Amino acid sequence: MSADSAGKTVLITGASSGIGEACALRFAASGARLILAARREDRLVALGEQLESSSGIEPLLIQLDVRDVGVVTRVLEELPAGWRDVDVLVNNAGLARGFASLAEGDTRDWDEMIDTNVKGLLYVTRALLPGMIRRNSGHIINIGSIAGSEPYPNGAAYCGSKAAVDAISAALRMDLLGSAVRVTDIQPGMVETEFSLVRFHGDAERAGNVYQGVVPLTADDVADTVVYAASRPPHVNIDSIKLKPVAQAWATQLARSSLPPRP
Ligand code: NDP
Ligand code: 8X3
């Protein structure tokens, strides 16, 4: 693994599970200093203890709901001394909620997705970007999705929120043109995490069916890609990377039957 993240301060939103947690483990192994944010504090504390025993690092843990612009702004603008100069921001906090046609969808699900995936990402970035611009150094890594460019039925609001992440990433890159601050959009396909459990409101059977007969990506596969993007030389910007399981050709096109058994 590249050691290029050694000594860098990396802030990860949604670090309490899945891809965010895997990013924390990968960045810790590469010697980064970590600020880990999510709503579930108990999960963050457990991860912090794990990191301390495995890598000897003590992350800064922040209980944060990215939808709350007031709290996001206050907490991130008043980070403790020694933690203020964030080098890498991983905008990972996000979710899908519900799976229904637009005519039948629950508007509360749409609000939750758009408030988290789009507005939360904007709020967190808004709080940290001025410091990066001032220091002429930094990297924003957004976790988009193939859903942004491969939309599917019953996913209009989620797919739309991830298309917004693509557009925000591209526009931000133009805003920052001439500075050394980098912007990357990582777009995973199917990854087995708590994602489907959350989408289906805790229905474990329905969530498990999503991954039946497929070898999905792991959260660590995505974290590996995030750390790769973060560890390129300073003159290289990875605009975007789309990564999928071999058994997935399009968001809705999966080879479920002719696959080897899952490892
Ligand atoms: P998980 O459900 O495992 O993790 C989601 C994380 O987001 C949790 O840590 C959760 O923490 C956090 N989160 C959700 N809402 C908020 C909020 N309001 N404020 C702060 N944190 C929040 O799913 P994944 O790891 O799979 O998802 C991570 C990202 O990857 C998401 O943006 C998702 O859209 C994207 N993605 C996932 C794919 C997949 O197939 N799994 C594929 C492509 C993209 P907590 O609840 O503690 O706040
Ligand atoms: C998660 C992948 O295809 O379920 O973003 O939308 S998908």
Residue 193, pLDDT score:
98
Q: For a substitution probing ligand 2, which of 95, 116, 145, 159 has the most ligand atoms within 8 Å of its CB?
A: 145
Give the closest residue to 91 by CA, choosing from 164, 26, 163, 37: 37
> Which residue among 123, 152, 158, 211 is the active-site one?
158
- Alpha carbon nearest to ligand 2 atom 6, residue: 147
Q: Please say if the pLDDT value at position 22 is more than 50.
A: yes
Q: Sketch out the chain's domains with CATH numbers.
A: 9-254 (3.40.50.720)
Mean pLDDT over all residues of the chain? 96
| Cα 234 to ligand 1 centroid, rounded to whole Å | 28
- Residue 5 — very low, low, confident or very high, per pLDDT cuts 50/70/90? confident
Ligand 2 atom with the smallest distance to the CA of 145 is 5
User: Worst-scoring range by mean pLDDT, 36-45, 239-248, 249-258?
Assistant: 249-258
Residue 3, pLDDT score:
45
Smallest-distance ligand from the CA of 149:
2
Q: Which residue has the tokens 């994602």?
A: 195
Q: Please say if the pLDDT value at position 259 is more than 60.
A: no
Rounded Cα distance, 201 and 112, in Å: 13
- Average pLDDT value for residue range 192-196: 98
- 116-170 pLDDT tens trace: 999 999 999 999 999 999 999 999 999 999 999 999 999 999 999 999 999 999 9
Query: Six-digit token pair at 83?
Result: 């933690």
User: Is 231 in contact with 2 (CB distance < 8 Å)?
Assistant: yes
Residue 128, pLDDT score:
98
- Average pLDDT value for residue range 2-6: 68
Rounded Cα distance, 101 and 129, in Å: 36
Rounded Cα distance, 225 and 2, in Å: 12
Residue 262, pLDDT score:
52
Rounded Cα distance, 166 and 152, in Å: 16
Residue 4, pLDDT score:
72
User: Is 251 in contact with 147 (CB distance < 8 Å)?
Assistant: yes
Q: Please say if the pLDDT value at position 235 is more than 80.
A: yes
- Residue 1 — very low, low, confident or very high, per pLDDT cuts 50/70/90? very low
Residue 65, pLDDT score:
98
DSSP string, 83-120: S---SEEEE----------TTT--HHHHHHHIIIIIII
Catalytic residue list contains 158: yes
- 100-119 pLDDT tens trace: 999 999 999 999 999 999 99
Residue 2, pLDDT score:
45
